[in-house]
Each structure stands twice: as C-alpha cells, then as structure tokens.
C-alpha cells in the first residue's frame, strides 16, 4: 500500500463528490467460476481489490468508505466456503494491518461479533486499536452484518434504556435510534455502489441509506478499478440532491 501523508489536504476549494461511499462487493464467486477456479480464488482476488479502492479515497475526497464483507445471510453458504472466508479475513487483517496504519487508515468493524471465532475477534480489536488515531480514510468493514439485525439489536438496547429509566418513551424519535446503531459515529453514506449487475441492496445499511444515491454496475468486484471508482464518484457530484424538497 503506497504511503499517504496524514497531513495532506484535498486542494479543491469546493468538493461536490461523496464524502461517504458504501460498497456491496459482489461477484467474486462468478469471477472465479468464469476462470475455472474455485469460489475462494475469487474472494482472494476481491480482497486485493480493496487496497486499491482505499488508496484512491484521499485523492478524490472520499473520507469514509464502508465495505460489505460478510452478511448475516452468508452463513447459508457451504461450510467450506464459510471456513475459507473466515480464514481469509484473519489473513487479511494480519497482513494488511501495518500497511493500513502507515497509510493513515482508521479501521472500524460493524456487525454482530457473537458468532465469530475468538481469534478473528481479537484481530479485529487489535486493528481498531492500532489505527484509532488515523485520519486519512475511515474504513468500516461490515462483518457478519445485516441491516435488519442491526436495527433489531439497536432496538433492544434502546428498549433496555427505556426500561432502566434512562430514556423516556415520549422522547424517542427518528434521531434517537441512530445513536444505538453500529454506525453511530459515522455519517450516513452519500453513495452506495453495488458491483456484479445485481440491482438490490441485500440488507445493507437499511436505515443509513435512506437518502443515499445508488449505482448498480455490471463490473464484477475483482475487476473493479480505481478509474471506475473515480468516475462513479465524479458522476455523483453532478446529481441534484433535494432530500424531499424542491429546487428553488
């Protein structure tokens, strides 16, 4: 990973691109199958693609990048594929930790960690601690994450605070629940990209993406390039965002 100064500044005086981009990284398995290789070969290729996208973020003004690595529904895949993915996650964190830190990336994980193995959880904790002071890019990795699951867990915490007398029921509004979500320290995504030609959101950041712009592209994730990422972010800058209002 090329080095990036933590003190570097985007020189554009007016930045119209997305501040927070979320990506549903789809198509690894199909990419591998097209090449006559096992699905895990595609997942390894996809993991390598993450580095290029992260490195591109500071150059185009993207401060926050959230990637969908493993969903709560992905446990339905074969035991071999799931075990291989968990091994890949452990290897990725171990291998990339130093490079991410040197590049100035702050890493966070969202999702339910209960079902993950102890070694992986330990590596996740260590990476979050190692990069906690970085400011170049905020990389959030959704691991064992599902939007509905997140809202359900948040609601349980909120209900417990009401039961404990810490929160009055009549004070709960649409500004309250986000404080209990996994993403409570992050801004909502401006742009959500899904690769591989599928046009669905697959239970990803359901609450947070209420006003996000979406791009569904045919490119399989391992083929997703710096140039395509840059083009999509530039296209976002040309969109008119009214958030339910009208143009004056």
CB 205 within 8 A of CB 66: yes
CA–CA separation, 104 and 132 (whole Å): 10
In this structure, what token pair is assigned to residue 187?
């801004």
CB 92 within 8 A of CB 70: no
Catalytic residue among 74, 112, 149, 188: 74
Catalytic residue among 7, 26, 173, 190: 26
Establish whether 26 is a catalytic residue.
yes
Tell me the three state secondary structure of residue 68. Answer: strand
Establish whether 203 is a catalytic residue.
no
Which residue in the block uniquely carries the two structure tokens 């446990």?
75
Pairing of strands 213-216, 137-145: unpaired
Q: Any idea what the Cα angle at residue 191 is, between residues 190 and 196, rounded to 5°?
A: 165
Q: Report, as residue numbers or ranges, the catalytic residues.
A: 26, 74
């Amino acid at each position: 990973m090329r080095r990036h100064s933590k003190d570097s500044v985007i020189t554009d005086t007016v930045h119209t691109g997305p501040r927070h981009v979320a990506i549903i990284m789809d198509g690894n398995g199909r990419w591998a199958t097209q090449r006559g290789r096992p699905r895990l070969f595609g997942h390894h290729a996809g993991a390598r693609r993450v580095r290029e996208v992260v490195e591109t973020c500071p150059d185009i003004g993207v401060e926050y990048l959230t990637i969908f690595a493993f969903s709560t529904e992905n446990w339905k895949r074969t035991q071999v594929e799931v075990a291989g993915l968990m091994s890949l996650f452990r290897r990725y964190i171990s291998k990339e930790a130093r490079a991410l830190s040197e590049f100035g990336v702050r890493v966070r994980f969202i999702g339910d960690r209960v079902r993950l193995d102890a070694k992986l959880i330990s590596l996740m904790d260590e990476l979050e601690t190692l990069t906690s002071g970085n400011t170049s890019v905020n990389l959030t990795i959704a691991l064992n994450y599902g939007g509905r699951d997140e809202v359900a867990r948040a609601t349980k915490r909120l209900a417990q605070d009401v039961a404990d007398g810490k929160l009055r029921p009549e004070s709960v509004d649409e500004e309250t629940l986000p404080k209990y979500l996994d993403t409570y320290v992050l801004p909502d995504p401006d742009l959500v990209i899904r690769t591989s030609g599928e046009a669905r959101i697959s239970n990803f950041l359901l609450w947070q993406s209420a006003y996000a712009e979406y791009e569904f592209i045919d490119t399989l994730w391992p083929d997703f390039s710096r140039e395509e990422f840059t083009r999509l972010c530039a296209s976002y800058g040309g969109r008119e965002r009214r958030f339910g209002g009208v143009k004056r």
